Amino acid sequence: MRKLAWFVGIVVALILVFNLVTFIVPETEQAIVVQYGNITQVATEPGLYFKIPFIQSVEHMEARLLSYDIEPRELITADQRRLSVNNYAVWKIENPQQFKESFNARLGTAQTRIDDILYSDLRNVLASREFNEIASGERETMLNDITETSAGKLKEYGINLIDAKIKRADLPEANEQAVFDRMISERERRASQLRAEGDEQSKEIKSEADRKSSVIVAEARNKAESIRGEGEAEALQIYSDAYSQNVEFYEFWRKLSSYRDSFPGDKSTILMTPNSQYLRLLSEGVTEKLKLKEEAQGEEPTEEQDE
């Protein structure tokens, strides 16, 4: 029984000694070892570390990202507009030793320093910009410049300023309506300008299209006339070759065609002189017919006399 008590006592003593000479740094923290007010060791990686009991003490710090919401403050822009700006900062303890020496590892003191530096840089930048620039897409570039400038100043305190953004930038109530009216007027002016430019471009495009259309139509007509002329010339050549084989028949056929077109119905009437060349073919036909009739009539008495 006495041996068991001795064993338990030894185990408890070993545990106490182990806890006195070691300390653990979690993944979400980092630590520094202080001896007589001086920093002797910095532990930024998670794990088990050793220390001298009763002489050295351990102070733990956050290794995660920290955010600080800065209280709204009034700033004046380059065009003398008053803005109530509410911004925030995302930061991290980059160098525990510098952070300890600067702020004695107090987050409240560090946040106050961040507030002072960030507000000063933000005020300087906004004072050189007009309200329209702050409210436009250039704000992102402006905030990146502020973050870079403030990060360089906070680095000497062991702080890494990762990002700084404006949550809200409100106008005083007395100026809001006037600014809104001015913004509406500006947008309407810009819209009118864009519409005018669009109308001008539309007219230019239509004019260019009409010009190209006229050129295409003219070229097509010229080509059509050229093709038609070539076709007519070729047709005339074919007709000429065909009609030249029998000129008398061609003239006879042409006259018959002309008579057919001139007398389309039974009641058609045309007044002409007997000597008209147009009736030469008809008169020749009538004369021939009369001649044949007379010959036929002249032959009949001869036959009766013979009988």
Domain range list for the chain:
2-62, 66-171, 194-264
pTM: 0.49
Tens-digit pLDDT profile for residues 186-218: 889 899 999 999 999 999 999 999 999 999 999
- Cα atoms in the Cβ-side hemisphere of radius 13 Å centred on 121: 23
Band of residue 302 on the pLDDT scale cut at 50, 70, 90:
very low
Q: Which residues of 43-52 are buried (b: 16+ CB within 10 A; e: fewer)?
A: beeeeeeebe
What is the chain's mean pLDDT, rounded?
Answer: 80
Q: Decide if pLDDT at 70 tops 80.
A: no
Tens-digit pLDDT profile for residues 217-235: 999 999 999 999 889 888 8
Superfamily of domain 66-171: Band 7 domain (3.30.479.30)
Higher pLDDT, 161 or 104: 161
| Contact of 158 with 98, CB cutoff 8 Å | yes
In angstroms, rounded to a whole number, what is the distance separating the alpha carbons of residues 41 and 287? 148
Handedness of CA 165, 171, 176, 180 (dihedral sign): negative
Work out the average pLDDT over 259-288: 64
Q: What is the DSSP-derived secondary structure letter of residue 45?
A: S
Q: Decide if pLDDT at 120 tops 80.
A: yes
Q: Decide if pLDDT at 169 tops 70.
A: no
Pairing of strands 47-50, 38-43: unpaired
- Determine the pLDDT at residue 303: 44
Within 10 Å of residue 182's Cβ, how many Cβ atoms? Answer: 13
Q: What percentage of the chain reaches a pLDDT higher than 90?
A: 12
- Determine the pLDDT at residue 160: 92
